[in-house]
Amino acid sequence: MAKKEFTYRGLSLEALQKMSIKEFAELIPSRERRTLLRGMTDPEKSLLRKLQKRNNVKTHAREMVVVPQMVGKTIQLHNGKEYTAFEITEEMVGFRLGEFVLTRKMVRHASPGVGASASKSVSVK
Each residue of 55-67: pLDDT tens digit? 999 999 999 999 9
Would the pLDDT of 77 be above 90?
Answer: yes
**Predicted pLDDT of residue 4:** 85
In one-letter notation, the amino acid at residue 70 is M
What confidence category does residue 17 fall into, taking pLDDT thresholds of 50, 70 and 90? very high
Would the pLDDT of 111 be above 90?
Answer: no
CA–CA dist 53, 47 (Å, integer): 10
Of all residues in the chain, the percent with pLDDT exceeding 90 is: 78
What confidence category does residue 114 fall into, taking pLDDT thresholds of 50, 70 and 90? confident
Q: Tell me the per-residue pLDDT of 30-62, one tens digit each, with 9 for 90 and over.
A: 999 999 999 999 999 999 999 999 999 999 999
- Mean pLDDT, rounded, of the chain: 90
CA–CA dist 43, 52 (Å, integer): 14
Ranges of each domain in the chain: 7-103
> Within its chain, how far is the Cα of 56 from the centroid?
14
7-103 maps to which CATH number?
A: 3.30.860.10
Other beta carbons less than 10 A from residue 44's beta carbon: 19
**Predicted pLDDT of residue 88:** 96
Pairing status of strand 83-87 against strand 11-12: unpaired
Report pTM: 0.81
CA–CA dist 55, 36 (Å, integer): 23
**Predicted pLDDT of residue 119:** 52
